[in-house]
Structure 1
Amino acid sequence: MHLKKDERQGDGEAYRTGKNDDSADDCPLPAALSEAQADNAHYQALNAYADKRLDKCVFGENKPACKQCPVHCYQPAKREEMKQIMRWAGPRMLWRHPILTVRHLLDDRRPVPTLPEKYRPKK
């Protein structure tokens, strides 16, 4: 059974990622982004898209870091946009949320779990 973001229990990457989405809300937007992208509705829509993708992750609580995941659930354009945002937010996260930064770095070192049986390609 797959749990929604607010029903998740435990300490998995998907749980922490969903739980900590609000922590990015207090960070100012990067000055390099255009006025059109700085629109709050744009970031809310992107956040909703990320939540939807996390809720549908085939790995569930054992989710690896997205950059190591064999299943790319984001659309290519959204994936590039998330990379841009993470490149900007990553260094700032160290000062605003040092414990989350350490957890995130440790999660990057975790081995990628095997794909669940029902999602493996048929032979």
Structure 2
Amino acid sequence: MQQPPKNLDKKRADEKLLVSEMIALYCRKQHDTPKGALCPECQQLHDYALARIEKCPFMETKTFCSACKVHCYKPEMREKIRAVMRWAGPRMLPVHPVLSIRHVAVTLKSKREAKKANG
């Protein structure tokens, strides 16, 4: 089996870090869990999200799951991760400024590219 290129490993690791931090922030503030811990429901979502990222066949070309044409999340988990992203996204800047700015830059770039492709 071939090893993925290093930049693909980094991209996968960055996405896992972002998702992990967003779920952790959400759980800490919404479920009153201590820093460094997740409630069972958020732990399940976290493990599921990381497994999806690990198995993503489109990692080389995709930006974020929300921009993907194929949705590999089960509907229930997709709704849960959307709720987490909607809540945690705007609150990430003071907590993780570098991750937040990088995420916004990639999101804007993917929206521009999608507009060009469709327009």
The corresponding residue for 2:35 is none
User: Matches of 2:99 and 2:69 in 1, distance apart?
Assistant: 24
The corresponding residue for 2:83 is 84
| Aligned-CA RMSD value | 2.6
* Per-residue Cα deviation, 1:51-80 (whole angstroms, up to 9, x for no partner): 111111011343321111011010111111
**Structure with more helix by fraction:** 2
User: Matches of 1:78 and 1:2 in 2, distance apart?
Assistant: 29
The corresponding residue for 1:43 is 42
| Number of corresponding residues | 101
The corresponding residue for 1:93 is 92
Q: Which runs of 5+ in 2 are unaligned?
A: 32-37, 115-119
User: Matches of 2:66 and 2:93 in 1, distance apart?
Assistant: 19
Q: Which runs of 5+ in 1 are unaligned?
A: 32-38, 113-123
TM-score, normalized by length of structure 1? 0.67
Contact (CA 8 Å) 1:2, 1:55: kept in 2 or not? no
TM-score, normalized by length of structure 2? 0.69
Alignment of 1:19-98 (within 5 A): 19-24=17-22, 25=24, 28-30=28-30, 40-98=39-97
